[in-house]
Structure 1
Amino acid sequence: MKTINYLLFDLDGTLVDSVPDLALSLNLLRGELDRPPLTENQVAQMVGDGASVLVKRAIGEEFYQPAHLDRFMQLYDQHLLDNTICYPGIQDLLNHHPANKMGIVTNKPYQLSMKLLEGLKLTRHFKVIIGGDSFAHKKPHSLPVLKALEALSADPQQTVMIGDHHTDIRAGRDAGTATCFCAYGMGNTDGLTTDFYAAQATDLLPLFPGSHLD
């Protein structure tokens, strides 16, 4: 493998801990439907495959209607930044790499992703930000990763896809990049192996040191 010069990140469970706000919004929806609240741990296990799948898991696929997704999006938009923060060490990691070498590939809808990143003052760190609705396919399909590579003019062999879910691993692998699993996040590997492993968010900077920009 060549030297890693480009970093692609998942968002939720990788750069930011958004579980409290996702749980809050889902439980507000469940309350409107006269259903008991979910725990944050339960919600964490539902995240990773996009908003519609999240809502279906949260209220039951057999009960799901498109209006439930619309209502969740309204609620989450209102509570997007109540409690969501970067994981420890993420800001330092981003400060060590230039924006033209980094991108985000998330299954979170693009507009919500941008609002969250702007609220946390993170947009300046990334040349490209791709949401789950930016293209015809989302992760685990390789298309959004390939689009990010194209936008960065990046060699896949010099790039790593960093994420906390098997969708990130599959998308990166199929696009030809190295992969890094973030065990501190919400997802799981589904038995897949990765090139790099981060038990904590603070492990990422030693793995991908870059050069400090401040």
Structure 2
Amino acid sequence: MNPAVLTLTHFDAAMVDLDGTLVDTLGDFVAAVNAMLAELRKPGQASQALDATTVGRMVGKGSENLVKAVLAHAGAEMPDRYTEALSCYQRHYAAINGVHSTVYPGGLEGLRALQQAGLKLACLTNKPLAMAHQLLRLKGLDGFFSEVFGGDSFARKKPDPLPLLKTCEALGTAPARTLMIGDSSNDARAARAAGCPVLLVTYGYNHGEPVREVDADGFVDSLSELRFQK
């Protein structure tokens, strides 16, 4: 697959990841994580604020995984407070969702190209569904998608193939003709297991690992590079 030129007849639909693919939400994650840590901090305990690089390596597998990773990083006593921490994190994230995030350059152009090519579009993210809907609406992206599914929409999250297979069912398309567009090995592993072709952007998070080392069908530096020909 040419990373920038996709043959229209190969696809009927596309599933597009949200965080790290369409919207740079790292600032939201950092703010919510550090607000959580500040609230959990015991009196007299030193500040444990995490920087964007550290948090960026932890995102991508859902809120539960992020909170567990943050607690493990914060210290031995923190993992015992997981239930409290998750509730705290979700409350802080809901309060700032979208405030510290921006649509990636080329994101709108890429969605328009997919739409103009006649593909059915779904947003498929590990972010909780309510927060995904809110973020898409705040950033003016909600009108592109006929379906939106979050990390709590199905029994399992990416990199499990179940969300992709269920999204294909909702779109009424075969996995082999449904393109997955994401930013990480989560998206690629899920796509491979589901039998979907996968295209990755090079600017996302991918747990701090080089994305071009991931098994994918193509890579783009911007979604504006997408071109479709019959």
Please report the TM-score for the alignment, with normalisation by the length of structure 1.
0.89
In 2: Cα distance, 1:156 partner to 1:107 partner: 19
State how 1:34-113 maps to structure 2 within 5 Å: 34=41, 35-60=47-72, 62-98=79-115, 101-113=120-132
Tell me which moved more, 161-170 or 149-158.
149-158
1:127 is matched with which residue? 146
- Give the CA deviation at 1:12: 0.4
- State the alpha-carbon separation in 2 of the partners of residues 84 and 169 from structure 1: 24
**Could you tell which deviates more after superposition, 180-189 or 7-16?**
180-189
Cα gap change, 1:15/1:101 in structure 2, threshold over 3 Å: closer, same or farther? same
Q: Secondary structure at the match of 1:65?
A: helix
CA distance in 2: counterparts of 1:10 and 1:101, whole angstroms: 14
Identity %: 34
Give me the CA root mean square deviation. Answer: 2.1
* Residue matched to 1:192: 214
Instruction: State the 1:84 CA deviation.
Output: 0.9
Flag the structure with more relative contact order, 1 or 2, with Cα contacts below 8 A and sequence separation at least 6: 2
CA radius of gyration, larger in: 2
Select which of 3, 12, 26 maps to 2:10: 3
CA distance in 2, matches of 1:205, 1:150: 28
Other structure's SS at 2:114 match? coil
TM-score, normalised relative to structure 2: 0.83
Trace 1:166-181 onto structure 2 (pairs within 5 A): 166-181=185-200
SS of the residue corresponding to residue 7 of structure 1 reads strand
> For 1:129, what is the secondary structure of its paired residue?
strand
Partner SS, residue 68 of structure 2: helix
- Number of equivalences: 208
Contact 2:25 2:102 (C-alpha < 8 Å) held by counterparts = yes
Q: For 2:229 and 2:124, locate their aligned partners in 1 and report how far apart those are by CA, in whole Å.
A: 20
Q: Which amino acid aligns with 2:14?
A: L
User: Structure 1, residues 50-86: CA drift from partner, whole Å, max 9, x if none?
Assistant: 1011011112273442111011101000111212111
Residue 27 of structure 2 aligns with which residue?
A: 20
Q: Secondary structure at the match of 2:155?
A: coil
For residue 86 of structure 2, give the secondary structure of its aligned residue in structure 1: helix
Native 8 Å contact 2:27 2:52 kept in 1: yes
Counterparts of 1:47 and 1:210 in 2: how far apart (Å)? 35
Deviates more, 1:152-161 or 1:37-46: 152-161
Letter in 1 for 2:19: D
Aligned residue for 1:103, secondary structure, equals: strand
Q: Which amino acid letter does the alignment assign opposite residue 192 of structure 2?
A: R
Amino acid aligned to 1:160: L
Partners of 1:192 and 1:96 lie apart in 2 by 25
Q: CA deviation at 1:205?
A: 3.5
Q: Please report how far the alpha carbon of residue 191 of structure 1 lies from its aligned counterpart in structure 2 after TM superposition.
A: 4.9
